[in-house]
Amino acid sequence: MRKELLVLPLIAVVAAGCASAQAKATAEDRPALMVPAPPSRIVEPAEVIPEPVAELPPVSSGAPPRSTPRPASPRSGASEAKPDPKAVADTKPAEPPPPEPAVPPPAPPRPTPDPNAAKAVRTTIDTARGILNGVNVGNLSNVRKKAHSDAKLLLQQAEDALKEGNLAFAQGVANKAETLAKELAGR
């Protein structure tokens, strides 16, 4: 009964607000639209005047001159003319200059590893590994077993990144492994 008393005035307020927010314009209040007449659709064709062409050279043999020699037909078989080996040797293309040796770009300078940061990563890895070793894998569901193996893989990635000196990545992966280990242990 109490809920009905609170809902009833709320419905009345909402309905009153919607009713007053509507526009009450009529056709007489709005100005008429002035629509212009459509443009004419008659298009006159433009005059096309061809441009003059330069004089063509006279043709003496009736066939147009060729700029490149015609390749030998593969059907001609044994009647093909073989090129003169001396002429081929004389027309050998110039050798291109030897390529310049590729110089790899200089590697960015590696920051010196902070011993405190490396120690913090090592502590996180050890903590996560200790928690994972305390989890009884036999009692876990298949999904949690997969999470356990994922946490071990994350720890291995953190170890590898720590060896390479990538402390930021190592710390991030170690934190993920620790969080996963804590969830598996129920902490």
Q: What is the C-alpha to C-alpha distance for residues 136 and 3, in angstroms, rounded to an integer?
A: 52
Name the pLDDT band for 24 (thresholds 50, 70, 90).
low
Q: How many CB atoms lie within 10 A of CB 124?
A: 21
pLDDT tens for 127-151 read 999 999 999 888 889 999 999 999 9
Report, as an integer, the average pLDDT of 160-169.
93
pLDDT tens for 93-110 read 667 666 666 666 676 665
Q: What is the model's pTM?
A: 0.41
Which of the two residues, 163 and 27, has the higher pLDDT score? Answer: 163
Name the pLDDT band for 47 (thresholds 50, 70, 90).
confident
Name the pLDDT band for 46 (thresholds 50, 70, 90).
confident
Task: Express as a percent the part of the chain with pLDDT over 70.
Answer: 56
